[in-house]
Amino acid sequence: MKNFQSISEIRDEIAVGKLTVHQLVQHYLNQIEEKNGRLNAFLSVYGDSALQRALLIDKKIRSGKARRLAGMIIGIKDVFALEGHRLQCASKILEGFESQYSGTCVQRLLDEDAIIIGHQNCDEFAMGSSNENSAFGLARNPVDETKVPGGSSGGSAVAVASDMCQVSLGSDTGGSVRQPASFCGVIGLKPTYSRISRHGLAAYASSFDTVGVISKSIEDAALVLEIMSGPDDFDSTVSNNPVPNYHKFQSTKKYKIGYLSEAISHESLAIEIKESTSKILEQLAALGHHVEETHFSKLDYILPTYYVLTAAEASSNLSRYDGVRYGRRTPSNDLEVMYKESRSDGFGDEVKRRIMTGTFVLSASYYDAYYSKAQKVRKIIKDETEKLFEEYDFLISPTTPTTAFKIGELNKDPLRMYLEDLYTVQANVTGIPAISLPIGIDKDGLPMGVQVMSKSFNELELLDVSNQIITFKDQNR
Ligand code: GLN
């Protein structure tokens, strides 16, 4: 069966009777069967229920009652709740835990006749940039299996890139949708903070966490975004801003686009990514967009701000995993020993590192020096970023400083690993939407990505310009 690039390709084949949803699900299950043993993208596959649901949806299609996502087969990162199914955040501490409800984003997809095919591998509690921090073992990059797929939504990017599902849901707290998408050569969209409900998404750092989409086409990302967005009784932080028809993203508008000189000239940026990003900027100018250099003097402050604040929020959020309320317990007759041992045995090293860092920056003697200061710097970064968007429609940078790195290369060196998020964290620190788009491959055949950021709630135009950039990939082969 062909490798479908978008839901409309699928719909077209269904409409002329060349394809059924049941056959489509079977196709993805075959792909999973063939590839998952090596790539480790899926932690659980819901084959029987997906096939059963496919029969039902085929029936709805025949009777003209199918809804907008009929024919879309979706995988979800192991941080999203799906009623009656396991949910472990790729952590031992949630061993045996089953969700009693579905997250709002997942439920909205199901309501539109999407099929959820399984839960996908990721870094434990979405903390990481390589998928090596999973209690279920690493996932491999399908382009080169000696390389990491990126993280934390590594399995989700691998699954789309290797045709094990059509679209994946990931979460993006500091780049976890965009960075693996870039490493695997697919699209990763992180919407504005508060655009989509976080109800049913396991919390990492609540003032940063965003539901994101990994796909092969802008069309799919737009449609899925549109369906998941908007107010929700279960999450009062969701914005009441009206949800536009994101799927109608095409326009003939010419935009004003800036690129940050500090990002393009950063010492850690690989030369081939720098050259490819410059080429994209030239191509946008050739299409009639106004492209110019601009500055962001605080680039080097964003990562430290991000890692202080997210660790603080994580230490608080993860205090609920105490051996009593969820999942795993290491038994002891002494309550305090039980808490300690359940957490010591249940959490992996990176999660423990974040909890300890977070507890430290929140402690009475260091609160002002770290946590309060980082909050102030966050505000400065936000103000300066918003100022740039008074002038520009979009800011363009590479998604990552390097292409996919070797398995084992960085996981003993947390600071170098954190540097992978250099360009992605700005969007989370400030709450703005951002997307990573595949722009071709380097001399080793590894995918490279470009990131486009926009002002809050400007996803419609972000999708429009992305749809133009994505066509450059074929021209640049
Ligand atoms: N790599 C970043 C981190 O470890 C981003 C994670 C994410 O977006 N979930 O915090």
Q: What are the pLDDT digits (tens) for 205-221?
A: 999 999 999 999 999 99
Round to whole Å and give the CA distance between 189 and 421: 15
Mean pLDDT of all residues in 454-470: 98
Mutate-to-test residue for ligand 1 from 91, 148, 176, 351, highest number of ligand atoms within 8 A of CB: 176
d(CA 415, CA 427): 20
Give residue 473's pLDDT. Answer: 79
Which pTM does this prediction carry? Answer: 0.98
Report the separation in Å between the CA atom of 307 and the middle of ligand 1, taken as the mean of its atom positions: 9
The closest alpha carbon to 15, from 58, 50, 72, 74, belongs to 58
CA separation for the pair 171, 210 (Å, rounded): 6
Q: What is the mean pLDDT of the chain?
A: 97
Cβ(152) to ligand 1 under 6 A?
A: yes
Q: Are 250 and 434 in contact (CB under 8 A)?
A: no
The ligand 1 atom nearest the CA atom of 421: 1
Catalytic residue among 6, 35, 77, 276: 77
Name the pLDDT band for 476 (thresholds 50, 70, 90): low
- Nearest protein CA to atom 10 of ligand 1, as residue: 127
Ligand 1 binding pocket includes 175 (Cβ within 6 Å):
yes
What are the pLDDT digits (tens) for 220-249? 999 999 999 999 999 999 999 999 999 999
212 Cβ below 6 A of ligand 1: no
Query: One of 152, 217, 436, 454 is an active-site residue; which one?
Result: 152
Q: State the residue for tokens 């990017």.
A: 157
User: What does the pLDDT look like over 188-206, one tens digit per residue?
Assistant: 999 999 999 999 999 999 9
| Length of the chain counted residue by residue | 477
Query: Could you tell me if 141 and 386 are in contact, meaning their C-beta atoms sit under 8 angstroms apart?
Result: no
Cβ–ligand 1 distance for 310 under 6 Å, the answer yes
152 is catalytic: yes
Q: Please indicate whether residue 176, judged by its CB atom, sits closer than 6 Å to ligand 1.
A: yes
Q: Which of 118, 115, 79 is nearest to 97 (CA)?
A: 79
**Are the beta carbons of 128 and 349 closer than 8 angstroms?**
no
> Is the CB of residue 173 below 6 angstroms from any atom belonging to ligand 1?
yes
The domains located in the chain, with CATH, are 7-228 (3.90.1300.10)
Question: Ligand 1 in contact with 421 (CB < 6 A)?
Answer: yes
Q: How far is the CA of 200 from the centre of ligand 1 (A)?
A: 18
d(CA 201, CA 195): 14
pLDDT at 323: 93
Looking from the CA of residue 420, the nearest atom of ligand 1 is: 1
Tell me what pLDDT residue 477 has: 57
Give the span between the Cα atoms of 185 and 207, in whole angstroms. 28
SS3 35: helix
In order of 48, 62, 302, 345, 359, the CA distances from 369 in angstroms are 54, 64, 16, 31, 13
User: How remote is the CA of residue 449 from the centroid of ligand 1, in Å?
Assistant: 17
Residue whose entry in the numeric block shows the structure tokens 């390709």? 9
Question: Closest Cα partner for 346 from 363, 314, 316, 324?
Answer: 324
For atom 5 of ligand 1, the residue with the nearest CA is: 174
- Under DSSP, the state recorded for 406 is B
The CA distance from 217 to 197, in Å, is: 23
Integer Cα distance of 222 and 243 in angstroms: 11
pLDDT at 66 over 90: yes
Q: Which of 176, 217, 315, 466 is catalytic?
A: 176
Q: Which residues contact 314 (CB under 8 A, 6 or more apart)?
A: 125, 127, 204, 205, 351, 354, 355, 358
Q: 412 or 15, which is more confident?
A: 15
Token pair recorded at residue 18: 């060349």
Query: Using a 6 Å cutoff on CB, does residue 411 contact ligand 1?
Result: no
CA of residue 176 to ligand 1 center, whole Å: 5
